Amino acid sequence: MQLDQVINITAHPIHHKHYEQSCKLQLDKKGVLVLKDFLTLSARSAMVEEGINKQSEAFYTSSGHNVYLTQKDPSFTDDHPRNRWVQSSKGCITDDQVATDSPLRTLYDSRTLRSFLAFVMGEEKLYPYADTLSSINLHYASHGQELGWHFDNSSFAITLLIQSPTAGGQFEYVTNLRDSNQEDMNYEGVEQVLNGQMQASKLSMSAGDLVLFRGRDSLHRVTPTQGDTTRMLAVLAYNAEADIALSESARMTFFGRLE
């Protein structure tokens, strides 16, 4: 499959410098960039079909965690924002389960797209994961499943909403709530968000949209899915360095296997 059969090139001329620069300015300013209707209708339909066909192969997890994605710290009480537990649940198929002729594969392997993403995110170059599981993931959220409040470990995330749920599945975020470089965890601000005392922004996101998000210092979540239609989200995961694999503990947690 050719790239222009997957990407709506007319609306998103990712090979043009002016478009690249415009996208980079938006991401740098807001910490999030939504490219509406990034996929062609035929490509998205093929992705939905593949997702439905593969759903029975997904690895499902339901677990508690704190917003920092770390172990509890016994020097804090359980109700301290450092130790407060939230819930996340989802299904996932991994890179090795994505078909070789999938439009997701066409996207991920495209040098043109990778060059565009690297420029917009201020990276010299982007590389795939060295392990066989982590580069392309397709996440499923059925009725009641959610992604709890958290900060990302990586500096950026690239996602494609493949299928919207009937209701729910709302992406909410609070930008620059902490400064991880200065080891400022902003427990007070996190507590306000967890208590519903600080209003989060809601991201307008439709099926077929590509989203770039800087989540290391921006707290975010996805609210519980409602209804019979499963929310399907593809994650295109890259590294700024070559030959990096997701840790074995992370692979077991997220995928239930090492290879």
CA 68/CA 84 separation, integer angstroms:
10
pLDDT over threshold 90, residue 250: no
Q: What is the pLDDT of residues 157-176, one digit of tens each?
A: 999 999 999 999 999 999 99
Query: Of the candidates 69, 105, 109, 106, which has an alpha carbon nearest to the alpha carbon of residue 85?
Result: 69
User: Judging by DSSP bridges, how do beta strands 201-202 and 136-141 pair with one another?
Assistant: unpaired
The sign one gets for the Cα dihedral 115, 121, 125, 130 is: negative
**Residues 254, 61 contacting (CB under 8 angstroms):** yes
pLDDT over threshold 90, residue 252: no
Q: What is the pLDDT of residues 72-112, one digit of tens each?
A: 999 999 999 999 999 999 999 999 999 999 999 999 999 99
CA 140/CA 51 separation, integer angstroms:
9
- Give the per-residue pLDDT at 248: 87
Share of the chain above pLDDT 70, in %: 100
Domains present along the chain, CATH in parentheses: 3-255 (2.60.120.620)
**Residues 8, 113 contacting (CB under 8 angstroms):** no
pLDDT over threshold 90, residue 1: no
CA 147/CA 225 separation, integer angstroms:
10
CA 149/CA 11 separation, integer angstroms:
33
- Give the per-residue pLDDT at 249: 80
- Beta pairing partners, 233: 139, 161
CA 246/CA 82 separation, integer angstroms:
24
pLDDT over threshold 90, residue 66: yes
pTM for this prediction: 0.94
